[in-house]
Structure 1
């Protein structure tokens, strides 16, 4: 056998080993939100929907003018909007993963883990939907332009572009939820759903990174350049869709002023850069942090 063939076999074995370990993890550490979350417990009136530091208005003059009740209500609507965006992207994710595994070898551990991931995402979407209902938060959908762009993306994206889109969504939310699950002044329902999501999504992120490495092997600079821009564009759409501007009117704020102050909020920009640091490191390692991509990430304060 040639050296090239040997290396290919070694890479395939390594990929399968990752998938096997992820399957073992899923078998020993998975949650049923219907059981783990206390859906019947009343919501304490003084607890936030997310750590105040993660509110889009935290650190602005408008935040300082708001009453305690408005701050609590705003964070609940913000986390509800983020959960709604999460459901939207999890539906995109499921379609891309299922399409990627179409007519692949069902004996392959990667095939079985991909279906395990889809099952996880179905539970997560139901969990987030129930949490929004419990908090009395309406469905906050992305802008029509984002919905239509995503319709094309979920239909056409393949290889490292599909898994890159999955990774950027999961990485950003992961950093936020690690804070929320530890927040003593955060609603128990948000802390518990965040903990479940963090544990199970850690496997999904490992799978996405491994799939990206696998699909990028031997790829040239032109492909990496094109893929980097698509992944960065997806990240920008997700970031700008996370908190719907309607959350401000829902708690009695002037939407125009709130949006303007969020746009100038240096604290918010710093939080987004810190939450994206690990992701940027991986994309750089994978050769997907090109100059055009970096310019997109900078515009949405991920760099």
Structure 2
């Protein structure tokens, strides 16, 4: 990795402080209150999808072809609910990891103050996603037990690199999906509105996470780096595979085991995962965080595959 004056690793403490001040100003200038800025009382449209059809996990399969338009719309509603549920779960983890990280730091610094600001943003996002679940008349899809309990371990043992690299993975994946949704005028207006709020505010979070992940990872010793790479790889694997909960298919009136099997072997769904993760993959590869044994997890999740032109 070749560093320049603009690379995160070359930044002095003063430069990091200046970055924190800029992020604080951006937060003050452009933030939303989802409870006020989104129209939660507007009725949902009867015949509009909740996600682009080609991003739905069963798209392009024989099972998809056998479904009516109404069934497909309902599946898109429930898959969106699952993704929102994952967002709430991860943002709750992230807030705890960030609080742990700044517990011993100086609150007079702009870096710590921005950390508190981001925690506030994530609180509002979790409320927004919770409101969305209610509006969708959908359940909260809690992660499967192994993943949920793994989250307890992660939040208790995370270091700076795992905190920010893990956050960047989830934020980038959601950002890619929401940017596409925001631009799709055929989707539910509320979905596009929620996507817009999250995109604008997460842009700051991702900028912060990219820089801090690189700085924290570079400062770790070799064994700690290997551990960080493994934790981030496992997080990426589980998050990418767990975005759509198996119960979504049951609640959509499908045979759950059949639908799960079809979704997991669907090349369109696999290509979508690689497409959504392509930017964060490039970022983490640039700082040498996807190497060694941990790379196998990224590969097994399908996140290292080239993105077909038709998917992008």
Is the shorter-chain TM-score for this pair beyond 0.5, marking a shared fold? yes
Gaps of 5+ in 2: 1-8, 305-312
The equivalent of 2:257 in structure 1 is 256
**Superposed structure 1 runs of 4+ greater than 4 Å apart:** none
| Offset at residue 287 of structure 1 (A) | 1.4
Q: Alpha carbons of 1:234 and 1:49: their partners in 2 closer, same or farther (altered >3 Å)?
A: same
Q: Alpha carbons of 1:301 and 1:9: their partners in 2 closer, same or farther (altered >3 Å)?
A: closer
CA RMSD, aligned part only? 1.4
The equivalent of 1:273 in structure 2 is 274
| Offset at residue 260 of structure 1 (A) | 1.1
TM-score by length of 2: 0.92
- Paired residue total: 296
> Are 1:104 and 2:105 counterparts?
yes
| Offset at residue 299 of structure 1 (A) | 1.1
The equivalent of 1:302 in structure 2 is 303
Gaps of 5+ in 1: 1-7
The equivalent of 1:140 in structure 2 is 141
Structure with the largest fraction of helix? 1
After superposition, residues 141-156 of structure 1 pair within 5 angstroms as 141-156=142-157
**8 Å Cα contact 1:160/1:227 also seen in 2:** yes
Deviations 1:91-128 (A, max 9, x none): 00000001111131111001110011000000000000
Distance 1:265 1:9 in 2: 43
TM-score by length of 1: 0.94
**8 Å Cα contact 1:15/1:210 also seen in 2:** no
| Offset at residue 218 of structure 1 (A) | 4.3
SS at match of 1:181: helix
Distance 1:282 1:253 in 2: 38
Report which stretch shifted further, 215-224 or 48-57.
215-224
After superposition, residues 163-202 of structure 1 pair within 5 angstroms as 163-202=164-203
After superposition, residues 189-268 of structure 1 pair within 5 angstroms as 189-268=190-269
| Offset at residue 159 of structure 1 (A) | 1.4
> Are 1:117 and 2:118 counterparts?
yes
> Are 1:38 and 2:53 counterparts?
no
Deviations 1:71-99 (A, max 9, x none): 00000000001001100110000000011
The equivalent of 1:65 in structure 2 is 66
Distance 1:139 1:216 in 2: 34
Deviations 1:16-60 (A, max 9, x none): 121111111111111110111110001001111111111111111
| Offset at residue 220 of structure 1 (A) | 4.5
The equivalent of 1:4 in structure 2 is none
SS at match of 1:47: coil
Deviations 1:163-201 (A, max 9, x none): 111111111111111111111221111110111001101
Distance 1:85 1:131 in 2: 13
**8 Å Cα contact 1:90/1:121 also seen in 2:** yes
Report which stretch shifted further, 217-226 or 115-124.
217-226
Distance 1:216 1:258 in 2: 39
The equivalent of 1:287 in structure 2 is 288
The equivalent of 2:6 in structure 1 is none
The equivalent of 1:5 in structure 2 is none
